[in-house]
Amino acid sequence: MAEPDPETGGTSTAGSSARAILGVDVGGTFTDAVLITPEGIFTGKSPSTPGDQSTGVVEATRQVLDKAGIEAGEVGHFAHGMTVATNALLESKGAATAFIATRGFTDLVEIGRQDRASLYRLQEAHPAPLVPPDRRIDVDERHGPDAPVKALTSEEAERVAEEVSALEVESVAVCLLHSYRFPEHEVAIGEAIQRRLGPDFHVSLSHDVVGTFREFERAATTEIDAVLSPLLAGYLRRLASVSLEIGLPEPEIMQSSGGVASLEEVAAHAAVAILSGPAGGAAAAALIARESGEENLLCFDMGGTSCDVCVVEGGEVHEASSKKIAGRPIALPMVDIDTVGAGGGSIAWRDSGGALRVGPESAGARPGPACYGLGGSRPTVTDANLALGRLVAGDELAGGIVLDLDLAMEAIGNLADELGISPEDCAEGIIRVANAEMVRALRVVTVQRGLDPRRFTLLAFGGAGPLHAAGVAGELGIGTILVPTTGGVFSALGLAAAERRRDEVQTVLAAQHEITEERLKQLIGEADQAGWDLRYLGQSFELTVNDDSADPVRLRELFERAHEERYGYSDPEAPIELVTVRRRYLRSGPGFSTSPPSHEDLDGPATVDLGEATLHLPQGWKVRGENGGLLRMTRAA
């Protein structure tokens, strides 16, 4: 039986007689499963089931268990990634929530930073707050940055709890000024609410969710957490129940930071799992980088609904201390992933100016692309690939779907008539437009960050990634592509192999004379890794450097090197300030064993069937198999 992990709260297979590790990733179109056993890696794919995603999880799991010839009870660890929280945020859906703030600050999320959503598009607006004005409650209390200014009375806490009760909401977000340093008032309000509404009523406290300063970002993240947590908790507990019924262990959940955590931890704070699915692919990419010796990779994950891109440099995935998702700031550590609405199911259409556009609307799992024969009638990227012969008509996909060329050509022909071009030109145009969207995303994570994409190898995965890899690489001037033979289920592989991880973030605001070895050791504590947000005194924003040595001299050197790289200068005489400490607790994941080459050398043009994905090899490219279950594509000079 799996034992509790003391650091992450999850489970470990150490000392367990169980021999298999399961990873399941729910995407917008397909649900992927990977089972790692001593006998090998077994993969499966099933159409996603938007009504209840746990149904697709069970179907994909049964596929891999049957292939491996084992029972569910032989699975020792089950890791899961999904898009439940992501999709709910994109659609502004979730629990009816109240927002509680210090008096005078209830409109904090709506006011934001008082900047424009777009500098030149004057009509573009920031997304509306998830909590409307009539569900915002003020509290008569106040902390300053250094000490309490006005104490919170028990009567005031009870009044707030009564107001929440009267609103008949499902969740509450509490964000009081300077609670990252003085959490007592938030704790008292949370306790008062749960005394009145019960211990199972969801309360998100900002110091618990975020723990860092900058009240707008902290408030926005806490609001997101409160809105999404009841929804995600319901799904995860339903999944846990289904898993128990069929004999699987309780799943651990991939976080946006790239490590897995216990189900209850993620159910309590949905904000940590906004990028749960894509982070699995990033985790697998880092393992591939170390295994293959290709330490600089551009990761290109194209699925059915979207395309996710990120950078692996020096064998490590780029991370961000905060990001905007759907225009909303999330002040939590996460893999630095950029996403565009360009996937195999992305719908092609003619805009009002007569131009061909692709996405962001997707045909999803139902009805899916026209060629699936499930009722879809609008042309998609998958239909275009089939029309151009990059997919094989009559091939059977997961769920018994058979690719129908006639249906694809009918859908493309209708759009071609609107555009006044031939169906062949229309199909080519759809591919070019989709590629351009993905190239733009890759330039965001490289060129806009001062990186030259030509010095990277493109790692292409996802169900549609290997189909488009050569076209995307050509646009970026990249001459080498790696494609995992498990590329169609690569995120699920990353889930199964990922390390167990817990992150803590704490605002410190220490002046230079306070940054001593003793203080640094105290801040690191028992953490396995530490990161520090530093800035010159007077600056508004920080740079993060990673160092576990507790050496203040080395910390300064690392900061000045990072400042030089980012801004082109450093100032050895200027005092610095330690703003935030980032602690990470780790337990190694199982990884996965390498496998010998599975394909002979091949020159393009050709199509290579990878099982859950298809590789398109154009004229002028060649491919060869390598250890580690990799295919290396190279372009002629």
pLDDT in tens, 231-240: 999 999 999 9
Residue 597 — very low, low, confident or very high, per pLDDT cuts 50/70/90? low
Q: What is the mean pLDDT of residues 29-45?
A: 89
Residue 598: the pLDDT is 62
> What residue spans define the domains of the chain?
89-232, 275-498+588-637, 500-586
Burial class (CB in 10 A: 0-12, 13-18, 19+), 241: exposed
Residue 226 has pLDDT above 50, yes or no: yes
Q: pLDDT class for 13, splitting at 50, 70, 90?
A: very low
Q: Tell me which CATH code domain 89-232 carries.
A: 3.40.50
SS (H, E, C) 50-97: CCCHHHHHHHHHHHHHHHHCCCHHHEEEEEEECCHHHHHHHCCCCCCE
- Comparing 102 with 324, which gets the higher pLDDT? 102
The DSSP H or E segment spanning 330 is strand 328-330
Over residues 132-148, mean pLDDT: 95
Q: Structure tokens of 334?
A: 């996460």
Q: Identify which of 81-85, 286-290, 464-468 has the greatest average pLDDT.
A: 464-468
Share of the chain above pLDDT 90, in %: 67
**CATH topology for the 275-498+588-637 domain:** Nucleotidyltransferase; domain 5 (3.30.420)
Q: What is the DSSP letter of 118?
A: S
Residues 29-41, mean pLDDT to the nearest whole number? 89
Q: CB count, 10 Å around CB of 575?
A: 12
Least confidently predicted of 14-28, 289-303, 351-365: 14-28
- Domain 89-232 identical in fold to domain 275-498+588-637: no
> What pLDDT score does 14 carry?
36
With cut-offs at 50, 70 and 90, classify the pLDDT of residue 594: low
By the 10 Å C-beta count (0-12 exposed, 13-18 middle, 19+ buried), 111 is classed as exposed
State mean pLDDT over 556-573. Answer: 93
- Give pLDDT, residue 384: 96
What pLDDT shows up at residue 12? 37
pLDDT average, residue stretch 411-427: 96
- Note the pLDDT tens digit of each residue in 171-185: 999 999 999 999 999
How does the average pLDDT of the chain come out, rounded? Answer: 90
The model's pLDDT over 238-251, given as tens digits with 9 standing for 90+, comes to 999 999 999 999 99
Angstrom distance (rounded) from CA 27 to CA 7? 29
Determine the Cα angle at 86 with ends 85 and 87, to 5°: 95
Q: What is the mean pLDDT of residues 447-462?
A: 92
Q: What is the pLDDT of residue 362?
A: 86
Select, from the ranges 107-111, 316-320, 565-569, the one with the highest average predicted confidence (pLDDT). Answer: 107-111
Mean pLDDT of 85-112: 92
Q: Are 461 and 633 in contact (CB under 8 A)?
A: no
Question: Are the C-beta atoms of residues 272 and 261 closer than 8 Å to each other?
Answer: yes
Residue 291 neighbours by CB under 8 Å, 6+ apart: 594, 628
Over 50: is that where the pLDDT of 15 sits? Answer: no
Q: Quick one: which of 592, 586, 393, 611 has its CA closest to 485?
A: 611
* Region 323-350 average pLDDT: 89
Longest dimension (CA), the chain: 77
What string of H, E and C letters represents the secondary structure of 418-437? HHCCCHHHHHHHHHHHHHHH
Provide the pLDDT for residue 366. Answer: 79
pLDDT band at 595 (very low <50, low <70, confident <90, very high): low
Q: What is the spatial distance between Cα 232 and Cα 248, in angstroms, rounded to a whole number?
A: 20
Q: What is the DSSP letter of 635?
A: E
DSSP helix/strand/coil, 121: coil
Cα(157)–Cα(188) distance, integer angstroms: 7
- The confidence score (pLDDT) of residue 179 equals 95
- pLDDT of res. 17: 38
* pLDDT for 10 beyond 50: no
Q: Please state the length of the chain.
A: 637
For residues 550 and 521, is the Cβ–Cβ distance under 8 A? yes
Across 397-407, average pLDDT:
87
Structure tokens at 580: 């935030």
Give the SS3 label for residue 109: helix
Residue 14 φ/ψ, nearest 5 degrees: -60, 130
- Residue closest to 388 by CA, chosen among 368, 365, 367, 371: 371
Window from 102-111, 187-196, 272-281 with minimum mean pLDDT: 272-281
Average pLDDT over residues 600-616: 87
Does the structure show a pLDDT above 50 at 68? yes
Q: Is 589 helix (H, G, I), strand (E, B) or coil?
A: coil
* pLDDT higher than 90, residue 196: yes
